Amino acid sequence: AQRVTQPEKLLSVFKGAPVELKCNYSYSGSPELFWYVQYSRQRLQLLLRHISRESIKGFTADLNKGETSFHLKKPFAQEEDSAMYYCALRAQEGNNRLAFGKGNQVVVIP
Amino acid sequence: GAVVSQHPSRVICKSGTSVKIECRSLDFQATTMFWYRQFPKQSLMLMATSNEGSKATYEQGVEKDKFLINHASLTLSTLTVTSAHPEDSSFYICSARDQGPNRNQPQHFGDGTRLSIL
């Protein structure tokens, strides 16, 4: 079974400070990892995915299979980064369903 | 980019009413769509996987007769909450993935439907 763990529910950081959101997963097969973001009153949208290996809005995330982690990082937080962030895992087998973590609410303090 | 349209965005109705929510992929085809439920300040919980032309696959604990899913075409899935009661009040979100040649497309989400049963 797929399982995604995001330990901290709420993260408050000052503008310009680094942000790191932790995500650990449990899955016996070959996973695909995503970070989704939900800004206030907006739909859930894809932030980045591990296979792309790109930086979006200054965020990066590296898949560490040894530690089964996919932590999200940004060196300098901006006010517009305040949002809910969800880590998600998609199984490569079966119906490719997404399993979500519980989410992190990030509040960037001006 | 790929867009998923969900309608209606908000429903308020009396207990016992059946409510239908539509999910459309606007510029791509989706043989599979997913229905989620989100409680306040909690994560998305997958309710069921909607399969075009066949029966939906429900997650454990989700009542098939309560949450009817129909996926009649490659761009439309509907979720009907039958005889809704206050405990069914929630935020329902659908998502779909472009089933084109590239199997590695991410899922795209609708805006969600806030259902309030009085």
- Give me the pLDDT at residue A88, please: 95
Strand segments (E) across chain A: 3-5, 10-14, 19-21, 24-26, 31-38, 45-49, 60-61, 72-74, 83-91, 98-100, 104-109
Interchain contact B106–A (C-beta under 8 A): yes
Interchain contact A40–B (C-beta under 8 A): no
pLDDT digits (tens, 9 = 90+) for A42-56: 889 999 998 887 888
Interchain contact A51–B (C-beta under 8 A): yes
- Give me the pLDDT at residue A94, please: 65
Cβ partners under 8 Å of residue A65, min gap 6? none
CB B46 within 8 A of CB B36: yes
CB A35 within 8 A of CB A72: yes
Rounded to whole angstroms, the Cα distance separating A93 from A95 reads 7
- Give me the pLDDT at residue A100, please: 92
Residue A95 has pLDDT above 70, yes or no: no
Q: What is the pLDDT along chain B (118 residues), one digit of tens a residue?
A: 678 999 999 999 999 999 999 999 998 888 889 999 998 777 889 999 998 888 899 999 999 999 999 998 899 999 999 999 999 999 999 999 877 665 567 888 999 999 999 9
